[in-house]
Amino acid sequence: MSTNDEPAVCIGKKGISSCTYDDLVHYFKYASSAYVPVCPRPNGKHLVTLFSNVVTDIQGFVARDDERKEVVVCLRGSLSLTDFLLDSQLVLIPFKCPGISAPSGCRVHSGFLLAWDSIVVQILAILVQQLGSHEGYSVVTVGHSLGGALSILAAACVKGNFPEVDVRNYSYGAPRVGNEAFAEWFNEEFPPGKAFRVVHGDDGAPTLIPTSLGYHHTGVEYWQLDPPNKDNVIICSADGEDATCSASVPSQGINHAHTIYLGIHVATPFCMGIRL
Protein backbone atom coordinates (compact mmCIF):
# COMPACT_ATOMS: atom_id res chain seq x y z
CA MET A 1 0.00 0.00 0.00
CA SER A 2 0.97 3.63 -0.26
CA THR A 3 3.04 5.06 2.56
CA ASN A 4 0.87 8.18 2.49
CA ASP A 5 0.09 8.93 6.14
CA GLU A 6 -1.78 12.20 5.61
CA PRO A 7 -5.11 11.66 7.44
CA ALA A 8 -7.03 14.18 5.33
CA VAL A 9 -6.50 16.44 2.35
CA CYS A 10 -6.45 20.02 3.60
CA ILE A 11 -7.61 22.13 0.66
CA GLY A 12 -5.82 25.46 0.31
CA LYS A 13 -2.92 24.35 2.45
CA LYS A 14 0.65 25.05 1.41
CA GLY A 15 2.88 22.18 2.42
CA ILE A 16 2.21 18.44 2.54
CA SER A 17 3.52 15.63 4.71
CA SER A 18 6.89 14.05 3.98
CA CYS A 19 5.17 10.76 3.18
CA THR A 20 2.81 12.35 0.66
CA TYR A 21 5.67 14.19 -1.01
CA ASP A 22 7.73 10.99 -1.11
CA ASP A 23 4.79 9.24 -2.78
CA LEU A 24 4.56 11.94 -5.45
CA VAL A 25 8.25 11.44 -6.18
CA HIS A 26 7.97 7.65 -6.00
CA TYR A 27 5.22 7.42 -8.63
CA PHE A 28 6.81 10.04 -10.87
CA LYS A 29 9.82 7.72 -11.17
CA TYR A 30 7.52 5.23 -12.89
CA ALA A 31 6.13 7.92 -15.20
CA SER A 32 9.62 9.14 -16.10
CA SER A 33 10.85 5.60 -16.76
CA ALA A 34 8.03 5.00 -19.25
CA TYR A 35 9.93 7.14 -21.78
CA VAL A 36 12.79 4.61 -21.81
CA PRO A 37 12.50 1.90 -24.52
CA VAL A 38 13.75 -0.84 -22.18
CA CYS A 39 13.24 -0.64 -18.41
CA PRO A 40 13.97 -4.07 -16.88
CA ARG A 41 13.02 -3.07 -13.32
CA PRO A 42 10.86 0.09 -13.28
CA ASN A 43 11.54 2.04 -10.10
CA GLY A 44 13.45 -1.02 -8.93
CA LYS A 45 10.30 -3.18 -8.98
CA HIS A 46 9.21 -6.26 -10.90
CA LEU A 47 8.35 -5.65 -14.56
CA VAL A 48 5.27 -7.71 -15.35
CA THR A 49 5.04 -6.83 -19.03
CA LEU A 50 5.25 -4.10 -21.62
CA PHE A 51 2.19 -3.12 -23.67
CA SER A 52 1.82 -1.12 -26.87
CA ASN A 53 -0.26 -0.43 -29.94
CA VAL A 54 1.58 0.15 -33.20
CA VAL A 55 -1.25 2.16 -34.76
CA THR A 56 -1.70 4.73 -31.98
CA ASP A 57 1.91 4.44 -30.71
CA ILE A 58 0.64 4.18 -27.14
CA GLN A 59 3.14 2.39 -24.93
CA GLY A 60 3.75 1.65 -21.30
CA PHE A 61 4.29 -1.13 -18.80
CA VAL A 62 2.73 -2.92 -15.88
CA ALA A 63 4.94 -3.35 -12.83
CA ARG A 64 4.36 -5.04 -9.48
CA ASP A 65 5.57 -3.83 -6.10
CA ASP A 66 5.41 -6.73 -3.67
CA GLU A 67 6.42 -4.52 -0.73
CA ARG A 68 3.56 -2.05 -1.20
CA LYS A 69 1.34 -4.83 -2.55
CA GLU A 70 0.27 -2.97 -5.63
CA VAL A 71 0.18 -3.34 -9.39
CA VAL A 72 1.28 -0.19 -11.25
CA VAL A 73 -0.07 0.63 -14.71
CA CYS A 74 2.21 3.24 -16.29
CA LEU A 75 1.49 5.03 -19.57
CA ARG A 76 4.09 6.93 -21.59
CA GLY A 77 3.63 10.58 -22.53
CA SER A 78 3.78 12.09 -26.01
CA LEU A 79 6.92 11.16 -27.91
CA SER A 80 5.93 10.85 -31.58
CA LEU A 81 3.97 12.63 -34.31
CA THR A 82 1.18 10.09 -33.85
CA ASP A 83 0.95 11.00 -30.16
CA PHE A 84 0.71 14.71 -30.95
CA LEU A 85 -2.00 14.04 -33.56
CA LEU A 86 -4.01 12.22 -30.88
CA ASP A 87 -3.47 15.18 -28.55
CA SER A 88 -5.00 17.51 -31.16
CA GLN A 89 -8.34 15.68 -31.45
CA LEU A 90 -10.34 17.95 -29.15
CA VAL A 91 -13.93 16.85 -29.83
CA LEU A 92 -15.70 15.69 -26.66
CA ILE A 93 -17.37 12.28 -27.04
CA PRO A 94 -19.20 9.96 -24.58
CA PHE A 95 -16.86 8.09 -22.23
CA LYS A 96 -17.14 4.38 -22.80
CA CYS A 97 -14.90 1.63 -21.49
CA PRO A 98 -15.27 -2.17 -21.63
CA GLY A 99 -17.12 -3.42 -18.60
CA ILE A 100 -18.43 -0.10 -17.30
CA SER A 101 -21.04 2.50 -18.12
CA ALA A 102 -20.39 6.08 -17.12
CA PRO A 103 -23.36 8.33 -16.32
CA SER A 104 -25.07 10.05 -19.22
CA GLY A 105 -23.39 13.30 -20.13
CA CYS A 106 -19.83 12.21 -19.30
CA ARG A 107 -17.72 13.21 -22.28
CA VAL A 108 -13.99 13.01 -22.84
CA HIS A 109 -11.30 14.05 -25.32
CA SER A 110 -11.78 11.91 -28.46
CA GLY A 111 -8.05 11.51 -29.10
CA PHE A 112 -7.33 10.40 -25.54
CA LEU A 113 -10.21 7.92 -25.60
CA LEU A 114 -9.04 6.51 -28.96
CA ALA A 115 -5.58 6.05 -27.47
CA TRP A 116 -6.93 4.37 -24.34
CA ASP A 117 -9.24 2.12 -26.37
CA SER A 118 -6.23 0.86 -28.33
CA ILE A 119 -4.63 -0.77 -25.27
CA VAL A 120 -7.44 -1.23 -22.74
CA VAL A 121 -8.10 -4.90 -23.58
CA GLN A 122 -4.41 -5.72 -23.07
CA ILE A 123 -4.29 -3.95 -19.73
CA LEU A 124 -7.49 -5.45 -18.35
CA ALA A 125 -6.28 -8.95 -19.28
CA ILE A 126 -2.98 -8.34 -17.51
CA LEU A 127 -4.78 -7.10 -14.41
CA VAL A 128 -7.10 -10.12 -14.34
CA GLN A 129 -4.03 -12.33 -14.21
CA GLN A 130 -2.09 -10.24 -11.70
CA LEU A 131 -4.93 -9.55 -9.29
CA GLY A 132 -6.02 -13.16 -9.50
CA SER A 133 -2.53 -14.27 -8.49
CA HIS A 134 -1.95 -11.58 -5.86
CA GLU A 135 -4.93 -11.29 -3.59
CA GLY A 136 -5.38 -8.00 -1.78
CA TYR A 137 -3.15 -5.96 -4.10
CA SER A 138 -4.20 -2.45 -5.09
CA VAL A 139 -3.82 -0.85 -8.53
CA VAL A 140 -2.10 2.48 -9.20
CA THR A 141 -2.28 4.21 -12.58
CA VAL A 142 0.42 6.76 -13.40
CA GLY A 143 1.66 8.88 -16.28
CA HIS A 144 3.08 12.22 -17.41
CA SER A 145 1.55 14.55 -20.03
CA LEU A 146 -0.48 12.43 -22.49
CA GLY A 147 0.34 9.49 -20.23
CA GLY A 148 -1.16 11.40 -17.32
CA ALA A 149 -4.39 11.98 -19.24
CA LEU A 150 -4.55 8.30 -20.15
CA SER A 151 -3.84 7.32 -16.55
CA ILE A 152 -7.00 9.19 -15.49
CA LEU A 153 -9.09 7.25 -18.02
CA ALA A 154 -7.31 4.08 -16.93
CA ALA A 155 -8.15 4.65 -13.27
CA ALA A 156 -11.85 5.12 -14.06
CA CYS A 157 -11.93 2.02 -16.24
CA VAL A 158 -9.98 -0.19 -13.82
CA LYS A 159 -12.15 0.80 -10.87
CA GLY A 160 -15.29 0.00 -12.84
CA ASN A 161 -13.98 -3.44 -13.84
CA PHE A 162 -12.53 -4.31 -10.43
CA PRO A 163 -14.88 -2.63 -7.93
CA GLU A 164 -13.49 -4.59 -4.99
CA VAL A 165 -9.92 -3.38 -5.65
CA ASP A 166 -8.43 -0.18 -4.22
CA VAL A 167 -7.44 2.04 -7.19
CA ARG A 168 -5.40 5.25 -7.04
CA ASN A 169 -4.17 7.67 -9.69
CA TYR A 170 -1.07 9.85 -9.95
CA SER A 171 -0.87 12.14 -12.98
CA TYR A 172 1.82 14.71 -13.78
CA GLY A 173 1.40 17.59 -16.21
CA ALA A 174 -1.83 16.10 -17.54
CA PRO A 175 -4.10 18.21 -19.77
CA ARG A 176 -7.82 18.43 -19.15
CA VAL A 177 -9.41 15.08 -20.06
CA GLY A 178 -13.16 15.60 -20.19
CA ASN A 179 -16.14 17.81 -19.45
CA GLU A 180 -17.52 18.89 -16.08
CA ALA A 181 -19.91 15.94 -15.88
CA PHE A 182 -16.99 13.54 -16.33
CA ALA A 183 -14.93 15.45 -13.75
CA GLU A 184 -17.76 15.34 -11.20
CA TRP A 185 -18.24 11.60 -11.71
CA PHE A 186 -14.51 10.93 -11.53
CA ASN A 187 -14.23 12.98 -8.34
CA GLU A 188 -16.99 10.91 -6.74
CA GLU A 189 -15.16 7.72 -7.68
CA PHE A 190 -11.78 9.13 -6.65
CA PRO A 191 -12.22 11.49 -3.70
CA PRO A 192 -9.27 13.42 -2.21
CA GLY A 193 -6.54 10.97 -1.27
CA LYS A 194 -7.29 8.64 -4.18
CA ALA A 195 -6.28 10.91 -7.09
CA PHE A 196 -3.22 13.15 -7.17
CA ARG A 197 -3.00 15.53 -10.13
CA VAL A 198 0.41 17.21 -9.95
CA VAL A 199 1.21 20.42 -11.84
CA HIS A 200 4.67 22.02 -11.83
CA GLY A 201 4.73 25.79 -11.62
CA ASP A 202 3.79 27.41 -14.93
CA ASP A 203 3.63 24.15 -16.90
CA GLY A 204 1.34 25.11 -19.78
CA ALA A 205 0.19 21.61 -20.74
CA PRO A 206 -2.49 21.25 -18.01
CA THR A 207 -4.23 24.45 -19.19
CA LEU A 208 -3.48 24.12 -22.91
CA ILE A 209 -6.99 22.72 -23.60
CA PRO A 210 -9.22 25.58 -22.38
CA THR A 211 -12.38 25.39 -20.32
CA SER A 212 -14.07 27.42 -23.07
CA LEU A 213 -14.22 24.22 -25.13
CA GLY A 214 -16.24 22.52 -22.38
CA TYR A 215 -13.32 20.88 -20.58
CA HIS A 216 -12.92 20.66 -16.80
CA HIS A 217 -10.04 19.24 -14.73
CA THR A 218 -10.55 16.27 -12.43
CA GLY A 219 -9.59 15.98 -8.81
CA VAL A 220 -7.33 17.78 -6.40
CA GLU A 221 -4.42 19.61 -7.98
CA TYR A 222 -1.10 19.45 -6.16
CA TRP A 223 0.61 22.59 -7.41
CA GLN A 224 4.35 22.08 -7.08
CA LEU A 225 6.33 25.30 -6.80
CA ASP A 226 10.09 25.73 -6.73
CA PRO A 227 12.40 24.74 -5.22
CA PRO A 228 10.83 21.27 -5.11
CA ASN A 229 10.14 20.15 -1.55
CA LYS A 230 7.19 19.21 0.65
CA ASP A 231 6.72 22.80 1.85
CA ASN A 232 6.33 24.15 -1.69
CA VAL A 233 3.29 22.12 -2.72
CA ILE A 234 -0.17 23.75 -2.57
CA ILE A 235 -3.26 21.56 -2.25
CA CYS A 236 -5.88 23.15 -4.52
CA SER A 237 -9.67 23.00 -4.71
CA ALA A 238 -11.16 19.52 -4.91
CA ASP A 239 -13.45 20.38 -7.85
CA GLY A 240 -10.46 20.46 -10.21
CA GLU A 241 -10.62 24.11 -11.28
CA ASP A 242 -8.96 26.34 -8.69
CA ALA A 243 -8.41 29.84 -10.12
CA THR A 244 -5.72 30.52 -7.51
CA CYS A 245 -3.50 27.60 -8.54
CA SER A 246 -1.97 26.73 -11.95
CA ALA A 247 -5.06 28.08 -13.73
CA SER A 248 -3.97 31.54 -12.56
CA VAL A 249 -1.02 31.35 -14.98
CA PRO A 250 -1.84 31.84 -18.70
CA SER A 251 -0.88 28.72 -20.63
CA GLN A 252 2.45 28.86 -22.44
CA GLY A 253 1.99 25.43 -23.96
CA ILE A 254 4.72 22.83 -23.66
CA ASN A 255 7.45 24.70 -21.81
CA HIS A 256 10.44 23.98 -19.58
CA ALA A 257 8.30 23.41 -16.50
CA HIS A 258 6.59 20.53 -18.34
CA THR A 259 9.90 18.72 -18.68
CA ILE A 260 10.84 18.58 -15.01
CA TYR A 261 8.76 17.47 -12.04
CA LEU A 262 9.74 17.30 -8.40
CA GLY A 263 13.31 18.09 -9.40
CA ILE A 264 13.46 15.16 -11.84
CA HIS A 265 13.88 15.67 -15.58
CA VAL A 266 11.26 13.79 -17.59
CA ALA A 267 12.64 10.64 -19.25
CA THR A 268 15.22 10.11 -16.51
CA PRO A 269 15.28 6.31 -16.25
CA PHE A 270 14.79 4.67 -12.87
CA CYS A 271 15.49 1.18 -14.13
CA MET A 272 17.74 -1.11 -12.16
CA GLY A 273 20.36 -2.39 -14.57
CA ILE A 274 20.56 0.89 -16.50
CA ARG A 275 23.24 3.38 -15.54
CA LEU A 276 21.82 6.88 -15.04
60-83 exposure pattern, b = at least 16 Cβ within 10 A, e = fewer: bbbbbbeebebbbbbbbbbbeebb
Closest to 219 (Cα-Cα) out of 258, 247, 262, 185: 185
Strand order in the sheet with 167-172: 46-53, 58-65, 70-75, 138-144, 167-172, 195-200, 221-224, 233-235
Largest CA distance in the chain: 49
Question: Catalytic residue among 26, 109, 144, 258, which?
Answer: 258
Question: Catalytic residue among 2, 33, 118, 145, which?
Answer: 145
The residue type at 1: M
State the Cα–Cα distance between residues 153 and 173, nearest whole angstrom. Answer: 15
Q: Is 200 assigned a catalytic role?
A: no
The DSSP annotation for 60-71 comes to: EEEEEETTTTEE
Q: Is 203 assigned a catalytic role?
A: yes
For residue 92, give the H/E element and its range.
Answer: strand 92-94
Q: Is 145 assigned a catalytic role?
A: yes
What are 94's strand-pairing partners?
Answer: 107
Question: Catalytic residue among 151, 203, 242, 246, which?
Answer: 203
Query: Is the Cβ–Cβ distance between 146 and 154 less than 8 Å?
Result: no
Residues catalogued as catalytic = 145, 203, 258
